[in-house]
Every structure is written in C-alpha cells, then in structure tokens.
Amino acid sequence: MTEVSHKIDNQLLQRVNQIGKFIGNTPLFPLNHIFQKKGVSIYAKFEWQQLGGSVKARPAFNIIKQAITNGHLHKGKHLLDATSGNTGIAYATVGATLGIPVTIVIPENASEERKLILKSLGAELIYTSKFDATDGAQAKAKELFSERPDLYYYADQYANDANWQAHYHTTANEILSQTQGSVTHFVAGLGTTGTFVGTTRGLKELNPTIQAISLQPETALHGLEGWKDLETARIPKIYDPALADRNLHVTTGASYDLIKRVAKEEGLLLSPSAAANLSGAIQVANEIDKGTVVTVFADNAEKYGEVLKQLF
C-alpha cells in the first residue's frame, strides 16, 4: 500500500493527543464466582470501558494517530477500512471527534445495533455478502481504495503494524502492572490477531516465562463475531504463529452458556467473544495447579440484542 505524505496538521495531532487520555487504562476484573480453584485466579480486562466501547479502541486510535503523524491522513481524506463492527465503531468515534469522515465496509449480517451505532456516529456503510465474512469486506475495501486513492486513506487493520503495536505498548504493560507481575498465562482469541500478537510480544519481553494461549472457533461456521478460523479464513499479515505456546479451540455453545452463567454469577453481561475468551481462560485455568490467567473482555452485550433474546 503506497501513500503520499502531506504536511502534518499539528492542530489535528494536538486533538489526537487529547483523545489519547481516554484510550486504554481499563480495569482488570477478578472472576471469583464463575471459577474457583485454590492457587489459580482468572482476571479479565474490561475493554469496553474506554472511548469507542471495545478492545478495538486501542488499535483504531493508534492507526489513526500514526496515519496523522505520518501525514497520510488529514481532513481532506476519508478513513476507509473493513471490519465486523467494533473497529468501525472505534474509527467512527475517533473520526467524529477529529472531523475525519469514516467509510466502513462491513458484512451485511453484522448486528443491527452495530449498524445503528455506526450510522449514528456519521460513518458511511458499504455492505458485503454475509457468506464472505470479513474476507469479502477486505476485498471490497481494497477495491474502493484502488479506485480512489485520492479520496481514501486505507487503514487495513489486518496488515497494519499499528494494530498490534497498540497492545504491545499499552495492554501488556497494564496487565503486568495490574497483576503486580503475577500473571503466568495470557489467553485471547484470534480475529485481526492484533490483541494476541501485540499483548503477547509485550508480555514475553517483560517476562519470557509467561505462557500465551491463542483461541480459535471450533469451525468455520461459528457464532463468535469478529473471530477467525485461521485454517479456512485469510490469515492477517500481522499474525505471527510463532508467538503462541498453545492453540485451543472454543465452541460457540460453551461461550453462549457462559454468557448466561456470568450474568447470574458475576453480574456481567458479556458479548459472545468476551465469553469465548473466558471459556478459553477457564480451560487453561483447569489444567494448571498454580497461576494467574489473564484474558480480555473485548466488549459487553450492548450490541448483541438478538443474542440476549435467544439466551434469556
């Protein structure tokens, strides 16, 4: 992807730095009721408690910040990317505060709540077939960029190093600090793979003994929005298969069951992907005799009304 640099808009960059105070620094929550085992603890990062409302706020903000810093994104361009929803919402949130138009290519079967939020934030939505998932959305975004490189800055979150670097510089440090260095295992699902790649790289640099376990859905046809079965999907360019100490599969059924249990036992309404991360963390925690397992709750259930109707 070739971009022509422009003069950096210092006022815009100053505004970006102001917004940065509301990205990251999310709480680490102990799961004391859903899992109990002497010597083993599970914690999860509340990623919805930041501007943009999900874990995707970190990479979306960093992608925008780096593009502005490099002169690739300015008020004369639209930010363009493909997403299953959460990254798009984060782009649209930050874009609205900066006065930067955002164009999102999204599969047509994304939740109605996500579509409504994106429209409310002023994003232009371009729909692709639900059968092609996010791979089809990526292909369409690349097509649009090739047709109008003068109009669009193509963020390309699946290949943009600013994605994983956001977690490398923030999430990893937060986890180590919040656990007082006691974290022994990090568990996260694979979508764009940015959360797993960046956090794992950061944690292992800080403490090489930390075990990193990546999670994938059990089949290509699953109900975990944003997750990828890497055996059948297009593998993101930012993914590094050498980082994972182990790879586990998580079933959609187990994740949906956890949504109901966690609501009653922990007082939390989780999204399917957050519950899937917890399912993987519980698998890991059940296998060890001592340790601190940390995962991330990508978002809560606010954007998953249809799922909640099915479960409750």
| CA–CA dist 185, 179 (Å, integer) | 11
**Which has the higher per-residue pLDDT, 310 or 197?**
197
pLDDT tens-place string over residues 38-64? 999 999 999 999 999 999 999 999 999
Contact (Cβ atoms closer than 8 angstroms) between residue 16 and residue 65: yes
Percent of the chain with pLDDT over 70: 97
CA 24-265-31 angle, 5° bins: 40
Residue bearing tokens 């297009």: 234
Give the pLDDT band (50/70/90) at residue 188: very high
pLDDT for the residue 1: 44
Quote the tokens at residue 250. Answer: 């998580």
Within the chain, where are the H helices?
10-19, 57-69, 86-98, 112-120, 133-147, 161-166, 172-178, 194-206, 252-265, 272-287, 305-311
Contact (Cβ atoms closer than 8 angstroms) between residue 165 and residue 199: no
Residues of the chain with CATH 3.40.50.1100: 12-50+167-311, 57-154
Give the pLDDT band (50/70/90) at residue 111: confident
What CATH architecture does domain 12-50+167-311 belong to?
A: 3-Layer(aba) Sandwich (3.40)
Percent of the chain with pLDDT over 90: 80
Give the pLDDT band (50/70/90) at residue 67: very high
Alpha carbon 280 to chain centroid distance?
Answer: 16
Contact (Cβ atoms closer than 8 angstroms) between residue 136 and residue 129: yes
Mean pLDDT for 183-188 is 98
User: Could you tell me the pTM of the whole model?
Assistant: 0.93
pLDDT tens-place string over residues 291-303? 999 999 999 998 8
Secondary-structure class of domain 57-154 per CATH:
alpha beta
Contact (Cβ atoms closer than 8 angstroms) between residue 222 and residue 255: no
> How much is the mean pLDDT over the chain?
93
- Three-state DSSP class for residue 286: helix
